[in-house]
Structure 1
Amino acid sequence: MDSSSFDEDTITPGWVREIGESVNSPRLVLSREMSNPFQNVKLPMTSRILKYSLFLSNLLIFILGIVLMSAGFTVSAEYASANGLAELFQDNYTALPVFVGVAGVILSFVTFFGCWGVVQESTTMTLVYGILLTLTMISLLIAGVFGYLYRDAVDHYVEGQLSTSLKHWCHSNPEPWDSIQKSFKCCGITSPSDWSDKADDFKFWAYGYVHYHNGTHLNENYFPENPVPNSCCVEISDGCGLMKDANIHKDGCLAKLETNIGENLSYVAGAAVGISIFTLFGIILAFFLFRKYRERNYSNMD
C-alpha cells in the first residue's frame, strides 16, 4: 500500500490527538494567564511612575519595619534580662515595646506582599495591600500616642512600685532590688537612707551570719548608722553594705529608672509614629495605582 495514502489523522492515535488539542485549547491558554489577564497590556506613563514609586517605597518601608522590629524587641529584651525590673513591673512596661516589635514584623510582611502585587500588576493584591498598610499605620499611631501618654504616668507608677517592693523586701528574696541597684548603680528609692527602716533586719542577719561563720559576736559599733544591701556598694563583696566605711552609690534608683524608661518609651513611640507617617505615602500610592489598574482593566474589556 502507498504510504502517501496515509494522512496524519490516520496514523496518529486518537488519544494523542485529544491531548494535543487540549494543550492548545483556548481554555488552557486562558488558564495560563488567569493570574492577571491584563499584565501584558502596557501601562500609561503615569501608571508606570506610580508602579515603580510604590515598589521603591515598599522596599524602604520594609527596611523601616525591620528597624521598628529591632527597636521594640531590643527594649523589651533589655528589661526582660533585668530580673528585678521584670518582677517589679510584672511585664507591664514591656507590653508596648513588644507590641511595636510585632507591628514591625507585620509591616515587613505586608510590604513584601505589596511588592509582589506591584510585580504582578494585580488590582486585587494592590487593594488588599493598601487596606493592610492602612490598618498597620493606625496601629502604629495608636501605639506611639499611647507611649507618649504613658510616659507622663511613668513617674508615679515607678515610685509606687519601688515603695511597695522596698516595704516587702526581705533577705529571702533580695533579687529584684539587687538586680536594679547593680544595673543602674543606685541605692534606695531616692537615697541610701531609704533602707533605714530595714536597719534592724540587716543587723540581725549580720549577727547570725558572722556568728555562724566565725563563731564571734558583733557589737553595735561595727555597723554604720544606715546599713544597706551589698548591691549598693560600688565594689560588691560579702557584707560590704554593713561596714561603716562602705563605699556605696549615693544616687537613688527612682530618678535613674524614670529617665531610662522615659527615654526608651520616647524612642519606641517616636519610631512608631515616624514610620506610621511615612507609610501614609505608600498608602496613597497603593490606592492611586489600584485606581489606575482598574481603569486599565475596564478600558481593555470594552
Structure 2
Amino acid sequence: MTNSCLKCLKYTMCVANFLCFICGVAVMGFGIFMMVNFKLAALTPSLASFNVANLLLISGIIITCVSFLGFLGALKENRCLLLTFFLMLFFLLLVELTAACLLLMHEHQISAWVEKDLNEGLAEAKGKKTDEFLSEWDLVQETFDCCGVHNVSDWGDNVPKSCCISQCSTYRSKGCLDRLKNWFEENFLSTGISVIVLCVIEVLGMCFAMTLFCHISTSGLGYKL
C-alpha cells in the first residue's frame, strides 16, 4: 500500500512538473519572440533592463529549470536533484513572501517612487521617435485608456498616437498613474488569491519532494546518479 502511494506521488510529481516545463518553454519562447520582433522602450528608467520581453524570458527560464529538476529528480528518484528542487522552491517562496510583505508595509513609499520613475521615463520617451518602434508607453496607454502620467499635458508637443481618440481629434483624458492605481486596487483580491495559490503549489511541491527524498533514504537506495 505504501509503495503504491509513493509511486502515485512520484508520477504525480512527474506529470505536474512536465506540464510546468511545457508552460515554462512556452513563456520563454514568447519572450524571445517579443525580443526579436518588438523593440520595447522601457516604461521607467529603473525597469530599463526588465521590460516585458525580458521578464517573460527570465520567468520562463526559472520555471523551466525548476520543473526540469523536479521531473528528473522524481523520475530517477535522485536525492540530489530532489533536494535541489526543494531548496529552489523554498528560495522562491521566501522571495515571494518577502516581496508581498514589503509591498504591504511600504505601499505609500512605493507609490511615490513609481510616480517619480514614471515621470523620468516619460521625460526620456519624449525625445524618441515613437513611430519607429512599439513603446511600452504605447502599450500601457492603449491598454488602460490613458495618456501621460497625470494627463496629456505631460507629453508637451510630442504627443504619441497612442494618446489619440478618433483620429487624434481628442486625447485620452485620464493619466496612466491613476489608471494603474485603480487597476491594482480592482485586481488586488484576485492577485492575492493567485499569490496564495502559487505558494500552496510550491509548498505541495516541497512536501512531495521531501517525502520522496525521505523514502529513498529509508529504503536504502542512497544517492542515485
TM range (shorter): 0.5 to 0.7
**Structure 1 67/134 Cα, relative in aligned 2: closer, same or farther at 3 Å?**
farther
Is 1:252 the equivalent of 2:175? yes
CA RMSD of aligned residues (A): 4.8
C-alpha offsets along residues 104-125 of structure 1, whole Å, 9 cap, x if unaligned?
4223223222322222233333
TM-aligned CA deviation for residue 56 of structure 1: 3.0
Larger Cα-atom Rg: 1
Once the two structures are superposed, the pairs formed by residues 138-217 of structure 1 within 5 Å of their partners are 138-143=94-99, 153=109, 155-161=111-117, 173=127, 175=129, 180=137, 184=141, 186-187=146-147, 189-192=149-152
Alpha-carbon separation, structure 1, partners of 2:115 and 2:19: 41
| 8 Å Cα contact 2:73-2:81 kept in structure 1 | yes
Alpha-carbon separation, structure 1, partners of 2:109 and 2:174: 22
TM-aligned CA deviation for residue 95 of structure 1: 4.0
C-alpha offsets along residues 140-182 of structure 1, whole Å, 9 cap, x if unaligned?
444555566677655423433455677x6998x2658xx6479
Is 1:284 the equivalent of 2:207? yes
Q: 1:114 aligns with which of 63, 66, 70?
A: 70
**Structure 1 148/263 Cα, relative in aligned 2: closer, same or farther at 3 Å?**
farther
C-alpha offsets along residues 78-107 of structure 1, whole Å, 9 cap, x if unaligned?
xx8553xx2x61143774975685254223
| 8 Å Cα contact 1:148-1:265 kept in structure 2 | no
Q: 1:126 aligns with which of 59, 68, 82?
A: 82
| 8 Å Cα contact 1:69-1:105 kept in structure 2 | yes
User: How many residues are treated as equivalent by the alignment?
Assistant: 206
Please list every run of 5 or more consecutive structure 2 residues that lacks an aligned counterpart in the other structure.
none
Letter in 2 for 1:289: L
**Structure 1 130/186 Cα, relative in aligned 2: closer, same or farther at 3 Å?**
closer
TM-aligned CA deviation for residue 49 of structure 1: 3.0
**Structure 1 229/290 Cα, relative in aligned 2: closer, same or farther at 3 Å?**
closer
**Structure 1 256/284 Cα, relative in aligned 2: closer, same or farther at 3 Å?**
same
Letter in 1 for 2:202: T
| 8 Å Cα contact 2:46-2:117 kept in structure 1 | no
**Structure 1 120/263 Cα, relative in aligned 2: closer, same or farther at 3 Å?**
same
Is 1:89 the equivalent of 2:40? no
TM-aligned CA deviation for residue 192 of structure 1: 4.7
**Structure 1 279/230 Cα, relative in aligned 2: closer, same or farther at 3 Å?**
closer
Alpha-carbon separation, structure 1, partners of 2:185 and 2:13: 36
TM-aligned CA deviation for residue 289 of structure 1: 1.2
| 8 Å Cα contact 2:44-2:118 kept in structure 1 | no
| 8 Å Cα contact 1:57-1:282 kept in structure 2 | no
- Other-structure match for 2:14: 55
| 8 Å Cα contact 1:187-1:250 kept in structure 2 | yes
Q: Scaled by the length of structure 1, what TM-score is found? A: 0.48
Is 1:296 the equivalent of 2:222? no
